[in-house]
């Protein structure tokens, strides 16, 4: 039975995307017949042993934040295969701000995993033969989930508030709309510092079309997805956001910033893109979605056409393909 150590910089109890990915992959890898241990990147190589034996495969999420752990695992488990999973901040920030650390992690890896189809555009060509795309999966909304409410046209923003997400862009876009607009922004997700929390509270105080509900459990997020008419993904950088996968499987239309991480999930021909941080264009798209049912239906058809990419079976087979590329068998 293949022994796998799955490393993440997000600790136990975290609702960060890296932790959610690691937890889901642990389940999928077990379905493939593997033994899996989920380990924090600060726990050290000893925590990766299974029944006192070294793992056959180490899968490390985040080339930059897990760099020290990757180096330690490579040194301690010289015979194990190593897979490094690339995040958005890895590729679109740390590759440029900390190139030595980023490139060392990639050089030590036997295989690389990217989470969207456009990642190859931004990686050094020498690493492309090792790159495998594994789309993050999502489950359908449960039967009987609530539908949109009457009166308001609710637009969902879901994700932790940090600079990379440009989290208040949708709120800015619904300021000073005509009184006949029913648009309302519902924002879900925690904050990493008081500055973002204060900014969200200030926005609520001055913008009656905006509500920030904070960090909610997964089941409540899914209820809001069922209730919303539209979702906004305004990120400045993304490695392949799982919330996009969830929206596609749910048939929830998306307005998304035109970045590789979104194009690599929604496709180059998707009709709902806006330039990064362009409040005016986002406002126009929101108003169009509210006023033109045909436009919203077009977006819904496009996200549903992408949904098969994000089924759990496809993600599980993607992971099996990476294992095989490392010369291993589950």
Predicted confidence (pLDDT) per residue in 75-99, tens digit: 999 899 999 999 999 999 999 999 9
- What pLDDT is stored for residue 95 in this prediction? 93
Q: Are residues 305 and 157 in the same domain?
A: yes
What HEC string does 31-71 produce?
Answer: HCCCEEEEEECCCCHHHHCECCECCCEEEEECCCCCHHHHH
Q: Are residues 302 and 318 in the same domain?
A: no
Say if residues 12 and 26 touch (Cβ distance below 8 Å): no
Domain that holds residue 95: 3-136+312-325
Residue 148 lies in a domain: no
Query: Which of these, 22, 18, 21, lies nearest to 5 by C-alpha position?
Result: 22
H-helix or E-strand spanning residue 88: helix 88-89
- What pLDDT is stored for residue 149 in this prediction? 87
Residue 330 lies in a domain: no
Residue 37 lies in a domain: yes
Q: Are residues 157 and 224 in the same domain?
A: yes
Q: What is the pLDDT confidence band of residue 330, given thresholds at 50, 70 and 90?
A: confident
Predicted confidence (pLDDT) per residue in 224-274, tens digit: 999 999 999 999 999 999 999 999 999 999 999 999 999 999 999 999 999
Q: What is the pLDDT confidence band of residue 16, given thresholds at 50, 70 and 90?
A: low
Name residues whose C-beta falls within 8 Å of residue 306's C-beta, 6 or more positions apart in sequence. 248, 265, 266, 267
Distances (CA, A) of 265 to 97, 139, 245, 252, 325: 25, 16, 8, 14, 23
Q: Are residues 90 and 179 in the same domain?
A: no
- What pLDDT is stored for residue 11 in this prediction? 59
Residue 141 lies in a domain: no
Predicted confidence (pLDDT) per residue in 268-311, tens digit: 999 999 999 999 999 999 999 999 999 999 999 999 999 999 99
pLDDT higher for 157 or 42?
157
pTM of the model: 0.93
Q: Are residues 40 and 161 in the same domain?
A: no
> Rounded to whole angstroms, how far apart are CA atoms 41 and 295?
45
Q: Are residues 164 and 297 in the same domain?
A: yes
- What pLDDT is stored for residue 320 in this prediction? 98
Q: Are residues 287 and 189 in the same domain?
A: yes
Return the exposure string of 206-238: e unless at least 16 CB atoms fall within 10 Å of the residue's CB, then b. Answer: ebebbbbeeebeeeebbebbbbbbbbbbbbbbb
Residue 108 lies in a domain: yes
Predicted confidence (pLDDT) per residue in 139-177, tens digit: 999 888 888 988 899 999 998 899 999 999 999 999 989
What HEC string does 220-258 produce?
Answer: HHHHHHHHCCEEEECCCCCCCCHHHHHHHHHCCCEEEEC
78 three-state secondary structure = coil
Token pair, residue 96, equals 């440029």
Q: Are residues 173 and 93 in the same domain?
A: no
Q: Are residues 306 and 317 in the same domain?
A: no
Q: Are residues 117 and 165 in the same domain?
A: no
Residue 123 lies in a domain: yes
The domain total for the chain is 2
Q: Are residues 165 and 129 in the same domain?
A: no
Say which CATH number the domain at 72 has: 3.40.50.2000
State the angle between helix axes of 99-108 and 67-76 in degrees (0 to 180), rounded to the nearest 10. Answer: 30
Residue 144 lies in a domain: no
Q: Are residues 81 and 179 in the same domain?
A: no
pLDDT higher for 13 or 171?
171
Residue 105 lies in a domain: yes
Q: What is the pLDDT confidence band of residue 42, given thresholds at 50, 70 and 90?
A: confident
């Amino acid at each position: 039975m293949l022994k796998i150590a799955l490393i993440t910089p997000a600790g136990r109890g975290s609702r960060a995307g890296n932790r959610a990915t690691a937890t889901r992959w642990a389940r999928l890898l077990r379905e493939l017949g593997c033994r899996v241990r989920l380990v924090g990147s600060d726990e050290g190589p000893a925590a990766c042993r299974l029944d006192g034996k070294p793992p056959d495969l180490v899968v490390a999420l985040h080339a930059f934040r897990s760099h020290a752990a990757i180096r330690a695992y490579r040194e301690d488990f010289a015979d194990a295969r190593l897979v490094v999973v690339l995040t958005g901040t890895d590729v679109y920030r740390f590759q440029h701000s900390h190139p030595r650390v980023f490139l060392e992690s990639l050089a030590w890896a036997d295989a690389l995993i990217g989470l969207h189809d456009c990642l190859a555009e931004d990686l050094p060509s020498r690493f492309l033969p090792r790159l495998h795309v594994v789309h993050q999966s999502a489950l359908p909304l449960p039967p009987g989930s609530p539908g949109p409410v009457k009166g308001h046209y609710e637009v969902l923003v879901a994700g932790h508030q940090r600079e990379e997400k440009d989290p208040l862009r949708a709120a800015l876009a619904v300021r000073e709309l005509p009184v006949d607009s029913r648009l309302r922004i519902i924002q879900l997700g925690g904050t990493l510092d008081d500055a973002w929390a204060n900014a969200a509270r200030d926005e609520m105080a001055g913008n009656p079309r905006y509500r920030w509900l904070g960090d909610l459990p997964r089941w409540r997020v899914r209820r809001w997805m069922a209730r919303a008419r539209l979702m906004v993904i305004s990120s400045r950088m993304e490695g392949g956001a799982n919330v996009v996968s969830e929206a596609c499987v749910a048939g929830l239309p998306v307005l998304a910033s035109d970045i590789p991480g979104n194009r690599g999930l929604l496709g180059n021909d998707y009709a709902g893109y806006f330039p990064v941080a362009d409040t005016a264009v986002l406002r126009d798209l929101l108003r169009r979605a509210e006023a033109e049912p045909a436009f919203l239906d077009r977006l819904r058809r496009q996200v549903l056409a992408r949904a098969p990419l994000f089924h759990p079976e496809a993600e599980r087979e993607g992971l099996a393909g990476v294992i095989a590329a490392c010369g291993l068998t589950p």
